[in-house]
Structure 1
Amino acid sequence: MAILPDAARCGNDPVHRSTRNPRGDRCLYWLLLPLLLWPVVGQPAAAATGDAVPAVLRQRVAELRTTGRLELQGVVLGREDILAEFYARRGYQPAWDDPRRVAGLRTLIGRAAEHGLDPEDFFASRLQVLAQSASGPAARADLDLLLTEALIRYGYQLHFGKVDPTAMEPAWNFRRGFANDADPVSVLAAAVAAPSLQDYLESRLPGGPWYRQLQLALAQYRSIVAAGGWPVVPGGPVLRPGDRDARVPVLRQRLRVEGDLPADPEVVDTESFDAALAAAVQRFQERHALARDASVGARTLEALNVTAETRVDQLRLSLERVRWLADDVPDTYVVVNVAGFRVGFVRGHELAWSSRVVVGRAARQTPVFGGLMTYIDLNPTWTVPPTILREDILPKLRRDPGYLARENISVIDRNGRTVDPRGIDWKAYGRSIPYTLRQEPGPANSLGRIKFMFPNRYSVYLHDTPAKALFDKPERNFSSGCIRVDDPLALAELVLDDPQWDRRALEAAIATGKTRRVQLRTPMPVLLVYLTAVADRSGAVRFYRDAYGRDAALLAALNGPVQLRLPAVPVATGGKLGPASL
């Protein structure tokens, strides 16, 4: 398991400027990590460019090594060991003397927007000017160095993402490293020497099918923006099926843009809210986690009038969040999209099962992190967590001492003995008590009849619930952070993957009323993610409200200056992300 250095140890500031230090060689090694999975091929042959350009390259590299910085065309380079060693190994011969290779890299950079990235992060405009005007040795050497730097940046952003996830997600613990025995300089040479740089790099996109589906959706919505977007549906009274209203034609036009309303033959009464339009509204509502009532009320109207540009940004953010995961997910795993209120079981990169979930409310958000599920408990007890005890239970006890008996909650002292709660003056305690409160197994237990344990410091897990009615809500952020599963027995069958524990056996064990722990034969990776836009193989694109208010900060960072930083605390699982539509 590779432990990656943080930005400070690598000497990188927001414009990735570095200073010379004894750790430089080791730290800067990691900055080419986005290329490390790419196979190494032979060293490219140096072109016969004479001695002038190599001499300038040698001079530039010497300056970089001596000062730890080199400014070219307004760009500050600061990875002296990688660039220096790359050029030293090739005898300071230029790497980009073949115009076809330069054109290939520039084409690749020009298509960065297909990944939701900014071509200017890779010097698109500077390279265009310099490529047309670089006639002397100095200009040609500068162009060569900038092209190499652009390739390093592109590889970094494509694999790791542009934004440091730990700055956005405090609980982030996914590994984003590579095999630590690879030589980045040799891999860089292999990429430069590839017959088609574009094919070579894009064949190694992160995220598998899920990433590509998001790319297709991004292209679709960028086309909508280019065509003028969609019309704004005017406000007014709730529109319901059967109504006649002057706003209905605009609603029809709006729903046709995204394909929710097919382009059927001309409607005779354009102001009539007919059955076809009602079905289109329901399709739109389903894609946006809204109540599927076919009526255009305040929430549906709000979603209809979110701009196409905003939807493009949501897709860009999802691509970035998938890049953060890179290759850190195996082909079989459980994934919860907190923003979409869905859980899925992915096997062989294919979504095998999906169900509704309830996640944490805004004040007690479900964290984004990964873990390993190791066992499930049938007929579990529930030990009241400190936050719920302090903020929820104690106020109730002060008002109603009989609450514990009704909820089948036992009071355990520090010696493990059960205490009669009627002898405790709950009003005498402030924010904590010298007791543990434990809810005993039963149909009213807050965890229901089954819980799925992937030990973590947040005390977050998946579980059943007696509050089944909440699953019918379109937005389901009601819990204190844990994830309540609508069909937990189906999930249990999948993660146990044991013929002895089919649904009938699970139901029989639960019927005994006894608490029983069942170990998984193979630990199951669990990923809690936050994606406000997803796309599936059918082409359906779903958008979710940013209930936790996380998109704005990430969008600002994604549109901001380049910062090359690597996570410091990895968790190894290995594999690729599958195409779960969650």
Structure 2
Amino acid sequence: MKFLENKATVMPLVAAAAMLTFGATQASAQGLFEMLFGGGIKRAPQGDFPPPPSRNGPKYKAKPNGGSKRSGAVQISSPSYYTYKSDPLVRVNFAALAATPGPRMPLPEIVEPAKPQDAAFQPSSATNAAFHEAIAGLDGYELFAEKDIAKALVAYYSANPDFIWVTGTSANSRAQDAVRVLGEAASYGLTPADYLVEVPEASASTGDADARLKELVRFEMALSARVLRYVRDAQSGRVDPNRMTGYYDFPVKPLDMEGVLKTLAHTQQVRTYLESRHPQNAEYQALRVELESLQASAEDEIVVDPKLLLKPGQSSPELPKLLTKIASNLDDEMGGAYGETLARFATGEEYVPELVPVIEAVQKKAGMKGDGVIGPRTVAALVGASKADKIQKVQVALEELRWLPSDLGSPRVFINQPAFTASYIDNGEEKLKTRAVIGRTTNQTAFFYDKIKQVDFHPYWGVPQSILVNEMLPRLRRDPGYLDRAGYEVVNARGKRIPSSSVNWGGYGANIPYGVRQLPSEANALGELKILFPNKHAIYMHDTPQKSFFKRDMRALSHGCVRLQDPRGMAAAVLGTSVDYIAEKLKHGHSTEDVTRTIPVYVAYFTAWPDMAGNVEYFNDIYDRDTRLQQAIDSTEAVRSPAS
């Protein structure tokens, strides 16, 4: 669908057609404004600034701030975070299995005897009969599992009344393989106790046969339940991110649990199958390697207060530790320039003027602004996080990667919010990496993925309702003609342009029946281009006139969208063309161009993430999301801990 803004003269006609479809009600007016001003794509982003909506709620919530609706006290609030509550486990109801008819005995036939370890894969009437006999041992058995797992367990064994993990009177080799994989869960950042199953001891030559059969059938059910939990956790993660906050938006990954058990009942490659349920990408593997390395390493003896703030002339007992850490990491060039200075002041607690050039130099080497002020970002860059903090960041990153597709795709665009960067990756090579500005803590950028749709040159900015209500409306009540003078257009519910000064802005609260857009210009909030990937969060990548923001180390400064330091380079990359072509397009005013290839874009949030060489880098948790995810994981662990 082409942009409707290309010719202003067609707007009334389009608006009239739209009104026949949607009606001229106030409720439909905003939908019309989105179609007219939102970049020409239904449900397209509305601007740089709106925060993403709650997944299961209205797009924005009107929050009274005291006073009446017409007094101007109404605000449109951002999405919120929720206290994560895991669903309780349920007791598996084995009554349906007991009611399943036994197998019919077939006519005798001559068959080649099955190998002992293949018996589970070649069900026979004899093993069926043994399984039906064993079902009685489930009477009174209290096995707890997630509701969908409990349902799948009963459904599978009702349709397939046979053992998977038991051959004869013992746990078979496939069971041993499965138990080993479950016991290695920690190497994936998972908790082995969540999948713990006690394996029956090897069968003795004598003993109570009924008791043994009872023990085996209970082991069979427990192992199947924990294998299903493991597969689901490996594929999708332990927590549902969409239940944590309205800032998260991930599609459900379907999982045929009965199919999982059916596959395991017909393959001898149990380990291979279970390990294949994890994400199969280089980033996941690099994080696993980092986790293993961290778990095997010793704690760093030098630990500097991560909240240290020290300016020249001030003193702190943390300074000598920081200087020692800097001295231990000096290369030949830095050592030649500053080694003597560091040695002279190594034990002093006062931040003397002689040390300022040293700090500035190491800050710049770490990619920071060399201002000489020692703060949390400097400490993090020069000292790094503690071993415990790094382990937690890696475990959180592994969990978050399970929310994404196993194959991240190539080419792709990857935005990592805590790193304040956006990258274009193709065929395993990072062909473009640019600094980015993301949402402020009060206007956070969402975490989701989508597909690049188009590039908009010299874009209009459709002002979202949140910005119009929260930021513009107070001024418009004092100065109704402000929009007319500032390069904006106002359109009523019929698509007709009207003067801003003619609107009684004081008569509206959170629901304003007018659309507002900023015309293309050097002052336009979106700069010279924007890159669209239609999503309900109204987020996209774009240029900005505020170039100075890219010089800052902490770049959580926007209203929610992602501003790029090199928007032309990113536009050229996704369009598969050159920067010169982009420059030429910009000479001809407003236009759009579709992205014809499939290019996924990840608006991601990882405080631990590997570079293209597999080296894991660590970043500050700017939105405190790691803490919230850990709370959700803890909630899940608490529910699972009493499970039998």
SS of match in other structure, 2:522: coil
Answer with 312-321 or 467-476: which moved more: 467-476
1:342 and 2:421 matched:
yes
* 1:27-46 mapped onto 2 (5 Å cutoff): 45-46=118-119
In structure 2, the partner of 1:414 is 493
Distance 1:443 1:537 in 2: 36
1:88 and 2:161 matched:
yes
Equivalences, count? 513
Counterpart selection for 2:279 from 198, 206, 214: 206
In structure 1, the partner of 2:608 is 533
Distance 1:397 1:205 in 2: 54
SS of match in other structure, 1:410: strand
Deviations 1:408-462 (A, max 9, x none): 1122233333323344454454444443222111111111111112222222222
Deviation at 1:209, TM superposition (A): 0.2
Distance 2:95 2:242 in 1: 25
Deviation at 1:235, TM superposition (A): 8.1
In structure 2, the partner of 1:491 is 570
1:547 and 2:641 matched:
no
In structure 2, the partner of 1:28 is none
Distance 1:75 1:435 in 2: 48
SS of match in other structure, 1:388: helix
1:153 and 2:234 matched:
no
1:232 and 2:304 matched:
yes
SS of match in other structure, 2:596: strand
Distance 2:329 2:180 in 1: 35
Counterpart selection for 1:358 from 427, 434, 437: 437
Distance 1:16 1:515 in 2: 58
In structure 1, the partner of 2:464 is 385
Deviations 1:483-505 (A, max 9, x none): 212111111111112x5xx3222
Answer with 97-106 or 154-163: which moved more: 97-106
Answer with 85-94 or 418-427: which moved more: 85-94
Distance 2:126 2:144 in 1: 20
* 1:450-469 mapped onto 2 (5 Å cutoff): 450-469=529-548
Distance 1:475 1:237 in 2: 15
CA contact under 8 A between 1:260 and 1:281: conserved in structure 2?
no
Deviations 1:337-390 (A, max 9, x none): 233322122223443322122122222222222222222211111111100000
In structure 2, the partner of 1:297 is 375
The 3 A distance-change label for structure 1 pair 230 and 14 is farther
Deviation at 1:516, TM superposition (A): 0.7
Answer with 393-402 or 269-278: which moved more: 269-278
Answer with 479-488 or 114-123: which moved more: 479-488
CA contact under 8 A between 1:377 and 1:516: conserved in structure 2?
yes
The 3 A distance-change label for structure 1 pair 363 and 74 is closer
Q: Which runs of 5+ in 1 are unaligned?
A: 1-11, 23-41, 566-582
| 1:408 alignment partner AA | G
Deviations 1:114-138 (A, max 9, x none): 1110010111xx527x558998443
Answer with 264-273 or 145-154: which moved more: 264-273
The percent of aligned pairs where both chains have the same amino acid is: 27
1:58 and 2:129 matched:
no
| 1:312 alignment partner AA | I
Distance 1:342 1:14 in 2: 39
The 3 A distance-change label for structure 1 pair 249 and 87 is farther
Answer with 381-390 or 267-276: which moved more: 267-276
Counterpart selection for 1:177 from 221, 244, 254: 254
SS of match in other structure, 1:363: coil
In structure 1, the partner of 2:198 is 127
CA contact under 8 A between 1:465 and 1:485: conserved in structure 2?
yes
CA contact under 8 A between 1:412 and 1:437: conserved in structure 2?
yes
In structure 2, the partner of 1:250 is 321
1:15 and 2:89 matched:
yes
The 3 A distance-change label for structure 1 pair 90 and 297 is closer
The 3 A distance-change label for structure 1 pair 409 and 109 is same
Counterpart selection for 1:223 from 296, 300, 303: 296
Superposed CA RMSD: 4.4
SS of match in other structure, 2:180: helix
* 1:537-576 mapped onto 2 (5 Å cutoff): 537-561=612-636
Distance 1:366 1:183 in 2: 37
Answer with 440-449 or 517-526: which moved more: 517-526
SS of match in other structure, 2:423: strand
Answer with 293-302 or 355-364: which moved more: 293-302
* 1:253-264 mapped onto 2 (5 Å cutoff): 254=325
| 1:165 alignment partner AA | P
The 3 A distance-change label for structure 1 pair 234 and 335 is closer
Answer with 133-142 or 100-109: which moved more: 133-142
The 3 A distance-change label for structure 1 pair 141 and 20 is closer
The 3 A distance-change label for structure 1 pair 281 and 415 is closer
In structure 2, the partner of 1:38 is none
Distance 2:169 2:420 in 1: 49
CA contact under 8 A between 1:159 and 1:326: conserved in structure 2?
no
The 3 A distance-change label for structure 1 pair 435 and 13 is closer
SS of match in other structure, 1:221: helix
SS of match in other structure, 2:400: helix
The 3 A distance-change label for structure 1 pair 434 and 143 is closer
Deviation at 1:143, TM superposition (A): 3.3
CA contact under 8 A between 1:460 and 1:483: conserved in structure 2?
yes
In structure 1, the partner of 2:597 is 522
SS of match in other structure, 1:555: helix
Counterpart selection for 1:324 from 389, 394, 403: 403
In structure 1, the partner of 2:106 is none
Distance 1:181 1:360 in 2: 39
The 3 A distance-change label for structure 1 pair 360 and 74 is closer
In structure 1, the partner of 2:185 is 112
The 3 A distance-change label for structure 1 pair 230 and 163 is farther
Deviation at 1:18, TM superposition (A): 5.0
The 3 A distance-change label for structure 1 pair 279 and 190 is farther
In structure 1, the partner of 2:105 is none
SS of match in other structure, 2:293: helix
| 1:231 alignment partner AA | V
Deviations 1:190-242 (A, max 9, x none): 45x12xx4455435630410101111222233234x446642359877266x9
CA contact under 8 A between 2:455 and 2:592: conserved in structure 1?
yes
Q: Which runs of 5+ in 2 are unaligned?
A: 1-85, 97-114, 349-354
SS of match in other structure, 1:491: helix
Deviation at 1:298, TM superposition (A): 4.9
TM-score normalized by structure 1?
Answer: 0.74
* 1:362-381 mapped onto 2 (5 Å cutoff): 362-381=441-460
Distance 2:559 2:399 in 1: 27
| 1:58 alignment partner AA | H
In structure 2, the partner of 1:139 is 215
1:313 and 2:387 matched:
no
CA contact under 8 A between 2:490 and 2:500: conserved in structure 1?
yes
